[in-house]
Structure 1
Amino acid sequence: MSSSTQSPSATSGVLATARGAWQEPFAAALSLAVVMGFGRFAFTGMYPLMVQEGIMSVSTGSLSASANYAGYLAGALIATKIPPRAASSWTRAALVASVLCMLALAVSASPAVLIALRLVAGVASAIGLVCASVWLLNVIGRHDGAPVLFAGVGTGIAVSAELIAVGNMTRAGSSSLWIALTVGALALALFAWRPIRHPETESVRPAAGSLAQPQHVLGAWSLVASYGLAGLGYIITATYLPLLIHGALPDVNSLHVWAMFGLAAVPSCFLWHAVHERLGTRRAMQWNLVVQAIGVALPAVDHSAAAYVGSAILVGGTFVGTVTIAVPAARHAARAIRFNLVAAMTASYGVGQIVGPLMASALTAHGSSFNSSMEIASAALLFAAVICQI
């Protein structure tokens, strides 16, 4: 045998090492699939069914959405106080809280309890997002794992949406569907649980790859401002898309369109990571936000099935891309400040998400359609793109 030929045991060892190298990014991605894709966005897919069953009104749904985003803001503020060494423990706590909140939604409850549960789920989502990101990117030092990490959000949205679609085909009620979603989220959380831990030594692997050159990096406050406007910009689509489709196109299965929203997010993380590497933070953010603005505006100018599908693909294919660009870029800007920039950006994003549903509720209460809300949201994204140039 030639000395250059690997034995079967050596080959298996190489494969095991390769699998191990990506164990942490995949575990972090599964964490985001649970706390964001299931814990946060499954409610969007369940919204029309719960309204149809009379479990909640559209008004209660809007308040629940706003409560969730308020919780997201609170969770981001809490995360500013969490040291990096505790990020793994808090990620695990967020996984537990997200699963329990979904299980509790299976029990018919008053509007006040429903709103409270969505508030707690929002807190868990933000803490899970911030802490899983800090754990993977800063504690473990896997900056090359950013696209895999944020692809977890879209994966969770797509999987939860299809679980709901299957449940609807079997005419399962919302309580049964929440139990099914809980089981799905629990399975993903169990796969993520063991790798999510603090490294035994304080030395971490060096970051792989290089991001934007300094002249293309956004300052801390530009990142916070543009990221907050991005939160306002995408949230109308992310909250109401299935409900809008259900009302405008009753023959179209809104859950499959919502699943396309999540599926588009998965490859977009890798696409926008590559754009970021090539063009730098400023231009990558601008391209991302402009494309997202077009997607948000589409249903306001055209109520056809093609417009809704186009909106799902364009917004789904950019909103997690914004995170994929902004959060890794924050490590450059963070050198000049003394606070947790990722948590501050998440808090800003949370403020935008609170304003969006409240704005939509106020406009629809005064006789306006959702078109006005989508137009304002699209304008916010365009303004965020302008800030990226400053």
Structure 2
Amino acid sequence: MMINIFDKKSNTNIIIAGIFALIIGMGVARFSFTSLLPSMLESRIDISFAGVLASINYFGYLLGAIFAIFIKSIKQKVLFFRIGLFLSITTTLLLGLDTNDFLWIVSRFIAGFGSSMLMVIGSSLVMSRLKFEDKTKAMGIHFSGIGFSMVVSDIISRVVLNYSSWQYSWFALTILAVILSFYCFYILDEQKSENFTKIKTNAVKFDSFIFVLIFSYFTVGIGFVVQATFLPDIINSIKGLEGLGSNSWLLAGVAGIPSCIIWMRLAYKFGSSNIILVCMFLLIISILIPTFTNNMFFNLLSAFLYGATFIALVALFLNLGGIIAKSNPAFLMGALTSSYGIGQISAPLYSVALLNEYKTYDSSLYVTAFILFLGAIILYFNKNKEKKYASN
């Protein structure tokens, strides 16, 4: 039986388009900056300016997530999803042109906004279009695109760097994004005959459990960004492990690809809150490993556990938010992503301050693990409230 890759109603095609969107928005427009940073530090920017660019990207992502909360109609969602595609592509191209610092700052800010459109709005479109009674397993496959985005963008960056400069890596990433965007644009359009037009955008009633999820996801954002910003340098700073940090990000991405599928299947069987708690505690372990051992295996395990949990936690929280919100998943997904974004912006501030004070990452990792532990404990004592949403 022939598979029609242009069938807009196909669940498989919808998921593929969603994964392509995540590769563009998360991989090309966000994570590729991490892969290319060492090369750009050699000839284009210094570490202080790199920190500014990273922070402004997180800020753009946060504003985009907040903006997504107020997008109600399907027509508007599709429009801003496509705007996100355009912004992610053009801002990537701009970095390859090696323009002045101000334009780089503007570019990273806009890239963050575009990323949130593809992450929040794109994921809500995928969830709305999928024709399953329970979409947990399917959304696990969709969110595996975050892991793919890390791996694909890193591999392309490395291949081009072997033959040319970091500027041409940005050009290659732009070409990839353009190619993938055509399929996203075509499949995730406004389907008037689909359940898109039948969805009512009722307001989500915020109860105590939703606020617990928002706070817990805030702590996960802190746990994500400290590792994402400093993971290679953390490993390189450990005596005897110098030079091993360069592969940690790729390893995290590889671990993240199957993690969403595996953890979401477990969430389908054991409940989302229970699996979220397991992932949060494994992430805490990954954060603490570099503070008590310089063993190569355990520190590579730290990178692996990081990728295997932080990506899955994004999928688990946003999928649970979509289940709770039902008819308007973008609203609660936006609220959750906003709290995550606040965590992303705040964590580097105390991390840099503690690093300058103590000249080691240990204190930053201890604080991060403690904050994440608070989020896990609060969720643990409220996890049974999830059942009422499953029954509705």
Question: Do these two structures clear the TM 0.5 threshold for a shared fold by scoring above it?
Answer: yes
Give 1:379's match in structure 2, choosing from 348, 370, 375: 370
Q: Which amino acid aligns with 1:89?
A: L
Contact 2:65 2:117 in 1 (8 A): yes
Gaps of 5+ in 1: 1-10, 207-216
- Map residues 186-265 of structure 1 onto 2, 5 A cutoff: 186-203=178-195, 219-245=209-235, 249-252=241-244, 254=246, 256-265=247-256
Once the two structures are superposed, residues 307-354 of structure 1 have per-residue CA deviations (whole angstroms, 9 ceiling, x without a partner) of 442122101001111122111211343379999211110000000000
Contact 1:66 1:358 in 2 (8 A): no
Give 1:151's match in structure 2, choosing from 133, 141, 144: 144
1:243 deviates by 3.8
CA distance in 2, matches of 1:36, 1:128: 8
1:232 deviates by 0.5
Deviates more, 1:299-308 or 1:229-238: 299-308
The corresponding residue for 1:271 is 262
Matched, 1:286 2:290: no
Matched, 1:327 2:346: no
Give 1:61's match in structure 2, choosing from 44, 47, 50: 50
Q: Which amino acid aligns with 1:238?
A: A
Matched, 1:78 2:70: no
Q: Residues 13 and 225 from structure 1, CA distance in 2 versus in 1: closer, same or farther, beyond 3 angstroms?
A: closer
Deviates more, 1:70-79 or 1:13-22: 13-22
1:375 deviates by 2.1
Q: Residues 288 and 109 from structure 1, CA distance in 2 versus in 1: closer, same or farther, beyond 3 angstroms?
A: same
1:162 deviates by 1.1
The corresponding residue for 1:102 is 92
CA distance in 1, matches of 2:72, 2:336: 17
The corresponding residue for 1:43 is 33
1:14 deviates by 9.5
The corresponding residue for 1:168 is 161
Q: Residues 294 and 13 from structure 1, CA distance in 2 versus in 1: closer, same or farther, beyond 3 angstroms?
A: closer
CA distance in 1, matches of 2:146, 2:227: 16
Scaled by the length of structure 2, the TM-score of the pair is 0.86
Contact 2:8 2:187 in 1 (8 A): no
Q: Which amino acid aligns with 2:59?
A: A
Gaps of 5+ in 2: 199-206, 382-392
1:124 deviates by 1.0
1:362 deviates by 2.1
Matched, 1:118 2:108: yes
Once the two structures are superposed, residues 91-127 of structure 1 have per-residue CA deviations (whole angstroms, 9 ceiling, x without a partner) of 2211111111111111223433322221111111112
1:367 deviates by 4.3
The corresponding residue for 1:184 is 176
Fraction of identical pairs, as percent: 26
Give 1:344's match in structure 2, choosing from 303, 326, 335: 335
Contact 2:160 2:169 in 1 (8 A): yes
Give 3-state SS (helix, strand or coil) of 1:197's partner. coil
Q: Which amino acid aligns with 1:50?
A: M
Q: Residues 19 and 74 from structure 1, CA distance in 2 versus in 1: closer, same or farther, beyond 3 angstroms?
A: closer
CA distance in 2, matches of 1:19, 1:110: 45
Scaled by the length of structure 1, the TM-score of the pair is 0.86
CA distance in 2, matches of 1:167, 1:176: 7
The corresponding residue for 1:29 is 19
